[in-house]
Amino acid sequence: MTDMEKYLNIIAFNIPWPANYGGIIDVYYKMKALRQCGVKIILHCFEYERPHSPELEAMCEKVYYYKRHTGLRTNISLLPYNVYSRKEPQLIANLLKNDYPILFEGLHCCYYMSDPRLKNRIKIYREANIEHDYYNHLAQAESHPVRKCFFRIEAWRFKRYQKVVRHADLVIAVSTTDTDYLRHQFPDKRIEFMPCFHTNDRITVKPGSSDFILYHGKLSVIENTQAALFLIQNVFSKLNSRCIIAGMNPPSSLLKAAAPFPNIHIEANPTEERMGELIHEAQVHALVTFQATGLKLKLLNSLFAGRHTMVNSLMVTGSGLEQLCHIANTPEGMIRTCRELMQTEINPESVEQRSNALYPTYSNQYQGERLNNFIYGN
């Protein structure tokens, strides 16, 4: 297939600009990497609390926007709410206007994957989470009874729905753990490990040291709220060092938990520039998670741009990046590791080691070329 013919439909669960949180970052930088390979993109995206984007319209051949059908009626279905709310006849009509391959960004976007009208199309499924694990985890973390019940039902629905993946010609999974799981579930499918696309195109670690520890993430997400609360209660409050928790829309529970401790500061909604500054300047990145599935963008940002990275084991599961991190799994171990790393300057050898471990696997350009070859075979 020549460059002239390299067109791709991408169905995104949200408008992928601004690229300022987890899954959206993966979508946007994947598009950018494919475009550098000469792929012309027809983007189909669902509107969800974000404006239409001239940036995307300049980047793509065509951008279609679709409304999500939210509300109670959407919930009365055996299909996951997050899938059924993206059932949109105009989407299938637009997909049928061409015969190009289709990339489905996550299970949320797969309503039409099994549609018989797309039977002969090349279909690629991007896995970013084992969704039923993710929603079970949200249910465990949620205290509100109605939301807890919704997450449990959604987990059950996603588990039933996962079999839609058998309609894909290629599955690209975000971690080796998720790759192994999907290969076990779908032994006859082509399933490839392709880590998250991200904002870093080179290693930009700053030499020297600073006086603070950082946790960063989208703070309104339950998983991140839970991690930040754990760090406040068990680690940061026991340290003398300055500790910063930075990210979008922190809930009041987080502000309340940090308030009694003068060394803990919550930085809400930092600009992209400010977040970049915090990531580069922090002496230690303290990253914990309580689930093994999904994107671990924080980890990549910290390893490409930050000094020391302290993690719990689940944070690095399936990444192959264990040797670049300081692993601690108990509050005592985390406190001890933070104290040691606050006294330790980053050395050039460890930066060199990162470069060897991160390239080429975690290079957007390399993975973009791989995906281009998988789809177009050149």
Q: What is the pLDDT of residues 327-346, one digit of tens each?
A: 999 999 999 999 999 999 99
Calculate the alpha carbon distances from 184 to 180, 326, 338, 368 in Å.
Answer: 6, 31, 38, 26
C-alpha 153 chain-centroid distance: 23
3-130+162-197+363-376 matches 212-358 in fold: yes
Q: 295: closest CA among 139, 140, 173, 201?
A: 173
pLDDT confidence band for 81 (50 / 70 / 90)? confident
Give the helix/strand (H/E) hosting 309: strand 308-311
**Domain 3-130+162-197+363-376, CATH number (from 3.90.1720.10, 3.40.50.300, 3.50.30.10, 3.40.50.2000):** 3.40.50.2000
Backbone angles phi, psi at 43, to 5 degrees: -100, 130
Residue of 24, 351, 311, 97 lying closest to 203 (CA atoms): 351
Adjacency order of strands within the sheet including 264-268: 264-268, 242-247, 212-216, 284-287, 308-311, 326-327
Nearest of 325, 281, 318 to residue 303 by alpha carbon: 325
Kindly report the backbone phi and psi dihedral angles of residue 275, in degrees, each rounded to the nearest multiple of 5, phi listed first: -60, -40
Full-model pTM:
0.88
Which amino acid type is present at position 269? N
More confident of the two residues 233 and 137: 233
What's the confidence (pLDDT) of residue 221?
A: 85
**Domain residue ranges of the chain, discontinuous segments joined by +:** 3-130+162-197+363-376, 212-358
Please say if the pLDDT value at position 309 is more than 90.
yes
Residues 6+ apart with CB under 8 A from 15: 45, 46, 47, 48, 50, 51, 52, 53, 56, 65
Query: What confidence tier does 378 reach under pLDDT thresholds 50, 70, 90?
Result: low
Read off the DSSP letter of residue 5: G
Contacts of 236 (CB under 8 A, 6+ apart): 213, 243, 261, 263, 264, 286
Q: Does domain 212-358 have CATH number 3.40.50.2000?
A: yes
∠ Cα 12 167 188 (to 5°) = 125
Angle (CA) 270-271-277 rounded to 5° is 85
Cβ atoms of 105 and 12 within 8 Å: the answer is yes
360 and 178 in contact (C-beta within 8 Å)?
no
User: Is there a cis peptide before residue 360, judged by omega within 30 degrees of 0?
Assistant: yes
Q: What is the mean pLDDT of the chain?
A: 92
pLDDT per residue as tens digits for the range 245-295: 999 999 999 999 999 999 999 999 999 899 999 999 999 999 999 877 666
